[in-house]
Structure 1
Amino acid sequence: MSDSDSNNARQTGDPDANNPGFPKISNSEHFFIVGGFDVIMKLLLILTGLMTLGAAGIEIVGIYENGTIDLADILMMFLYTEVVAMVVVSYTGRGSPFIYPIFIAITALSRLIVLQGKEMDPQNILFEAGSIVLLAIAAIVIVRLPRR
């Protein structure tokens, strides 16, 4: 790339002009490709939300039929709530989409410890508790990072 091409790229603000190996696409192609994938993403998010609500409904019916509420049931409802929150954040674009998967992982590990606590090797419980601490530290770091 010559100096004049490089200066032209800086003046037009076209980032693709600096990379001659990058394929050029028109604005209409960009609109249809990005727009198409955006529509697919939103449809899949709606489907994920509906499936989560269905699973939560099935869980509630199971709790009603058993007549008891266990700690594992409550943690499962938190998992469903966090998945719905993650769908909302992903759909609207507001908030940090990286926090909710961390919360889901923390809740899932907690549920695993609760469900298998008596049968588990104490060393595995320590590993899972350490994983929860590591995930909590990661969540704090992500929340505290300055946003641009």
Structure 2
Amino acid sequence: MQLQEFNWLHNKVKQLADEVGSLLIEVFHYLALFVIGASIVWSAVIAYVAMIHHGHATIGDILLLFIYLELGAMVGIYFKTNAMPVRCLIFIAITALSRFLIADIQIHHQADKEILLISAAILLLAIATRIMPKPPSDNG
């Protein structure tokens, strides 16, 4: 009879530990998403204030704001679905490469191999978004 009581106690302790562990993971998940989201907003505000201070916004500045917007959307999607939106990461990479490409052209004013490589990378990422299976929520 004691073995049965021990097994019952063991199962109850394990169940309680699992529930506490799940709660801690969920709290960490929400806390981490909040910190990431707040950091994105903070960075976007600082970038915007710098644009105001300069008196104008360049195309690179505007693309940077789009990167912040896409990062915020990615956090929102992850918050709602608990699924990593890989497509958002690819869109962010495309925007970042486009921003880099525009900045490089503005500085050097000449075509070189680097422009071709960045353009090829953007093309590969765009193709990747087309061949990736869509999440169920996007099929409608």
TM-score by length of 1: 0.73
Q: Which residue of 2 aligns with 1:70?
A: 58
Other-structure match for 1:52: 40
Structure 1 position 29, deviation (Å) = 3.4
Name the CA distance, whole Å, in 2 between partners of 1:137 and 1:27: 47
- Cα separation, partners in 2 of 1:146 and 1:97, compared to 1, 3 Å: closer
Q: In structure 2, what is the Cα distance between the partners aligned to 1:60 and 1:146?
A: 33
Aligned length: 123
Q: Which moved more, 1:92-101 or 1:39-48?
A: 92-101
**C-alpha deviations, 1:41-87, integer Å up to 9, x for none?**
21111111111111111111111111111100100000000000000
Structure 2 unpaired stretches of 5+: 1-13
Indicate the residue corresponding to 1:14 in structure 2.
none
**What pairs up with 1:74-89 in 2 under 5 angstroms?**
74-89=62-77
Instruction: List aligned pairs for 1:69-148, cutoff 5 A.
Output: 69-93=57-81, 97-117=85-105, 118-119=107-108, 122-142=112-132, 144-145=133-134, 147=136
CA positional deviation for 1:121: 6.4
- Answering whether residue 32 of structure 2 is matched by residue 37 of structure 1, we say no
- The structure richer in helix per residue is 2
TM-score, with length taken from structure 2: 0.76
The percentage of counterpart residues that share the same residue type is 30
Question: How many Å separate the matches in 1 of 2:84 and 2:36?
Answer: 18
CA RMSD, 1 decimal: 2.4
Q: Which amino acid aligns with 1:61?
A: V
| Aligned partner of residue 96 in structure 2, secondary structure | helix
Secondary structure of residue in 2 paired with 1:54? helix
Partner of 1:19: none
Task: Find the aligned partners of 2:16 and 2:131 in 1 and give their Cα distance.
Answer: 39
Unaligned runs of 5+ in 1: 1-25
Structure 1 residues 34 and 130: CA distance shift in structure 2, 3 A: farther
Structure 1 stretches of 4+ with a deviation exceeding 6 A read none
